Structure 1
């Protein structure tokens, strides 16, 4: 009997019996490393891109100054903005030389009322193309500037001296200098030198008439006063003051010095000495360009007088009969080549011609103005309070 051997072929199990919870474990294990590597790569790319952006922004925001760029003579091309800022601060702190052509004085920009706008200058440097020549951004306080120039004028001005022969003087023309600074402060100061405008001052003629008590008095020298002016104010000869006070050099006065004045009493013209009043009715003002004096009248009678400064030969005061048409407690004045802020006690009598206070010089009794009638500020206040709009003004 033969034995029949049956081949045992396992049957395929049912799908539901052999399917695991994760049907493709091998495939999943192969993807994971690539996903991790890919994720790291993406993150790394983003990080590097971000760092690159920061570097670019940093370079752009902190980039140096283009080659060949200069400001106020400072060669700043290729430097960093921080280095440029340091040099600009040093430049702003340097002294400025003021000169009248023969002599010189040194002041700081701050003394002159000038400030350097460092931030705006740096911005201009940052945006400047190669080989640009820039100027610093400056601002100026003209009130402070004029105060400084007036103080300096006590050293700068040279008194005119009457005598045989007479000696001409020199005085700083502050309005003209202020006008230049107002028009172009950067251009005027960028090289560190300011040329002062000067005018020639003729010696005054000695006043011989007036009221004189016959006694002596004491005069205390004030800032800006000259011996010739003091002598004229008192109506005495300057040589008499020199002799009485044992003064050999009239230019060596000092503030606070006590002078003995012969024939005391500040010079006041008498009615007989004064020019005729413009009118015999009401108040009127007369300005004598020949005498450099202003007169106040009421009903034709002289009530007050004082030394004045009228226009220089190149800018004479207008002659004729006028009336005060407007009054200002203070007014900015300007004209060809000059500027003056806040001129006190101003009374205009014809176009831009007026009677006003003066803070920029003390040289009354001689032509000094650009056409107006300059008075010491206290005198200008007296006339301002006394006169009214419509008061006649005669200039002879």
Structure 2
């Protein structure tokens, strides 16, 4: 084997290793090419979340097509403000707490029917069966008539089941998510 052949094999090996690492780091398989195609599919669709009003409005071509009240991040775990894009969709899924069991932020494994991830690190738009009220004031301590005293989310944007189902079916990968006060 010549040194040229060894270099060629090494380059191929390194390329294969890098590709494998990308798949391990990003197991959902969302590639920039896939995201670009999804963005074209999502053209003109925007999910607008007003944190002050605790309200989500879906827009298509600049026209409001759906509105729902939501519950967002509590003090210390606020929902991040900014412009994002849906990059993963899961139905159904289970959320697992990133906090240890002795943390005040811990929660047990939680079944979710419809989840759209918009920011790496586990920030989702999703249904929340453990809430029965949404809207202004629900991102802090409040009384839920079904489930008792509750606080806001861990940073996610949660909503009633029917709203999450509608949004999941309406919003393709690449849909813009605009979050503001």
Displacement, 1:330?
Answer: 1.8
1:339 aligned onto 2:111: no
**2: CA distance, partners of 1:343 / 1:314:** 23
**1: CA distance, partners of 2:123 / 2:65:** 24
Residue of structure 1 equivalent to 2:169: 385
More helix by share: 1
What per-residue deviation string (whole Å, max 9, x for no partner) do you get for residues 319-376 of structure 1?
Answer: 1000000000122212321234221100000011010011011121121211100100
Residue of structure 2 equivalent to 1:374: 158
Residue of structure 1 equivalent to 2:82: 320
**1: CA distance, partners of 2:55 / 2:157:** 9
What aligned pairs does 1:93-108 form with structure 2 within 5 A after superposition?
A: none
What aligned pairs does 1:274-313 form with structure 2 within 5 A after superposition?
A: 282-313=44-75
Residues 340 and 361 (structure 1), Cα distance of their counterparts in 2 relative to 1, 3 Å cut: farther
**2: CA distance, partners of 1:294 / 1:358:** 15
Aligned residues: 116
What aligned pairs does 1:94-133 form with structure 2 within 5 A after superposition?
A: none
**Superposition TM-score, scaled by structure 1 size:** 0.29
More strand by share: 2
Residue of structure 1 equivalent to 2:127: 357
**2: CA distance, partners of 1:392 / 1:379:** 17
What per-residue deviation string (whole Å, max 9, x for no partner) do you get for residues 237-273 of structure 1?
Answer: xxxxxxxxxxxxxxxxxxxxxxxxxxxxxxxxxxxxx
What aligned pairs does 1:45-56 form with structure 2 within 5 A after superposition?
A: none
**1: CA distance, partners of 2:113 / 2:59:** 22
**2: CA distance, partners of 1:394 / 1:323:** 8
Q: Unpaired segments of 5 or more residues in structure 1?
A: 1-280
**2: CA distance, partners of 1:362 / 1:340:** 19
**1: CA distance, partners of 2:159 / 2:176:** 18
Q: Secondary structure at the match of 1:370?
A: coil
Which 4+ runs in 1 deviate beyond 4 A? none
What aligned pairs does 1:6-155 form with structure 2 within 5 A after superposition?
A: none
**2: CA distance, partners of 1:378 / 1:318:** 24
Residue of structure 1 equivalent to 2:19: none
**2: CA distance, partners of 1:323 / 1:340:** 26
Residue of structure 2 equivalent to 1:270: none
What per-residue deviation string (whole Å, max 9, x for no partner) do you get for residues 286-318 of structure 1?
Answer: 111110000100111111111000001121101
Point out which structure has higher relative CO (alpha carbons under 8 A, 6+ apart): 2
Q: Secondary structure at the match of 2:153?
A: coil
Q: Secondary structure at the match of 2:167?
A: helix
Q: Unpaired segments of 5 or more residues in structure 2?
A: 1-42, 100-105, 140-151
